[in-house]
Amino acid sequence: MKTTNIAIDGPAGAGKSSIAREISSELGFIYVDTGALYRTIALYAHRHSIESVEMLIRQLDEIEIELSFIGGTQRISLCGEDVTDDIRTPEISMGASNVSAIPEVRNFLFDLQQKIAREHNVIMDGRDIGTVVLPDADLKIFLTASADERASRRYMELKEKADCPTYEEIRADIIKRDYNDSHRAIAPLRQAEDAVLVDTTDMGFHEVCEEILSLIRDRLELDD
């Protein structure tokens, strides 16, 4: 059976996860947050005090990652432990950017991502979905926003937490991640030639969802 695959790429803090999750629910597709996979690798490295690339590569065979979908929501397990919430910290975010530049890590996760796409209708987000993971996706979208806007959104998400970083720290982190992601040697962040650019700087959440749903329905000739 032919599955339908939608690829959403873009820089950190562009809203890919929340947008993709909402659209997946609307269409009845499975949402695959590939960034969560890299965050899980970063969490493993952090917990095991792995500081060198060589050491992490040697440990990859010990890392067991499983995705499950409960009520349409992705949950992620690391060696049998649900770490869905543990991977959502600024420190692990930066770690994910670092480990994603390691070819062996990318190869380790590549097969899992493609297997899910072969077996399900998916909306998959990340940095290289349209360019590397799903180059034949039915629709590719490159979602972005200004660094200031992305930092503001992330600050609003985190500000109620006791250890919330400042806006300036979040903005600096985003700019650093943008540079790292777009300059890495393997599968750098870039817009696929056939991707549709959606700049959300001056758009609200529901407005973005409606625009992307319209793009999907037009491309796939789906009914409202």
Number of C-beta neighbours around residue 187 at 10 A: 19
Q: How confident is the model at residue 62 (pLDDT cuts 50, 70, 90)?
A: very high
**Nearest partner of 141 among 211, 72, 73, judged by Cα:** 211
**Rounded mean pLDDT, 14-21:** 91
Averaged over 81-88, what is the pLDDT? Answer: 93
Q: What is the pLDDT of residue 222?
A: 60
Question: Per-residue pLDDT for 47 more than 80?
Answer: yes
Which letter does DSSP use for residue 204 in this model? -
> Would you place residue 81 in the very low, low, confident or very high pLDDT band (cuts 50, 70, 90)?
very high
Between strands 30-33 and 122-126, the pairing is parallel
| Beta strands in 71-205, from DSSP E residues, in sequence order | 73-78, 81-82, 122-126, 139-144, 196-199
Would you say 127 and 100 are in contact if contact means Cβ atoms under 8 Å apart?
Answer: yes
Question: How confident is the model at residue 157, as a pLDDT?
Answer: 85
Calculate mean pLDDT across residues 65-89.
87
Query: How much helix, strand and coil, in percent to the nearest 5, is found in the chain?
Result: 50, 15, 35
Residue 216 — very low, low, confident or very high, per pLDDT cuts 50/70/90?
A: very high
Q: What would the pLDDT profile of 113-151 be if each residue is shown by its tens digit?
A: 898 899 889 999 988 999 999 999 999 999 999 999 999
The fraction of the chain above a pLDDT of 90, given in percent, is 64
Instruction: With a cut of 60, say whether residue 224 has pLDDT above it.
Output: no
Q: Quick check: helix, strand or coil at residue 222?
A: coil
The pLDDT tens digits for 143-178 are 999 999 999 999 998 888 878 889 999 999 999 989
Q: What is the pLDDT of residue 72?
A: 63
CB 65, CB 58: distance < 8 Å: no
Mean pLDDT taken over the chain: 90
pLDDT at 223 over 60: no
